Amino acid sequence: MKKAHWLTFAVALSAVSTVSFGQNAFQHCTAAFVGNKMVVDQYTTTGKSVLPSTTTGELSVQTVDLSPTSTKALDKIAFKVAIRDKDTKTLVMFSRDEYKQVSVQNVLAKCRKGDHIVLLTIDNQYALPHNEILVQ
């Protein structure tokens, strides 16, 4: 009977350890930028990412230094771009290429109002919570 309890305890401990390590995979916070302006209006759980269809500049994903008073861009990281269709919700790759920056006009040229630009990080050490950008 005691062996069964120890076995159950060992399995439970192993499961907790695996879950804990999996949750800590992200080591760096990132955000989308057009030029030097962060796309999301506020880096919170309620932040909104919206771009007018007339936006110009270079779209990038950068690591950020978050403080209570500001968000500072640090380093550009590699990412991929997809577009989510507003009607069917179908997700299509913009290109097979990886980017550190891409002309936002080129991406927007393949979008309609109501579509979402979806940014995908290449490396799982980067958390990108605001990865969908609504095109207006």
**pTM (global) more than 0.85:** no
Amino acid at 94: F
Looking at 6-10, 48-52, 58-62, 99-103, which range is the least confident one?
A: 6-10
DSSP3 helix / strand / coil % (the chain, rounded to 5): 20, 40, 40
Amino acid at 11: V
CA dihedral 18, 63, 130, 136 (to 10 degrees): -160
- The neighbour count for residue 79, using CB atoms within 10 Å, is 24
Q: Where are the beta strands (DSSP E) in the chain?
A: 28-34, 37-38, 50-51, 58-66, 71-76, 79-84, 91-93, 102-103, 116-121, 126-127, 132-135
Most confident option among 1-10, 18-27, 126-135? 126-135
Contacts (Cβ under 8 Å, ≥6 apart) of 64: 29, 30, 31, 38, 43, 71, 72, 73, 74
- The neighbour count for residue 120, using CB atoms within 10 Å, is 15
Q: Tell me which DSSP letter residue 8 carries.
A: H
pLDDT tens readout for residues 58-91? 999 999 998 877 778 999 999 999 999 999 999 9
pLDDT tens readout for residues 29-53? 999 999 999 999 999 889 999 999 9
Beta-strand relationship, 28-34 and 126-127: parallel
The domain segmentation of the chain, as residue ranges, is: 26-135
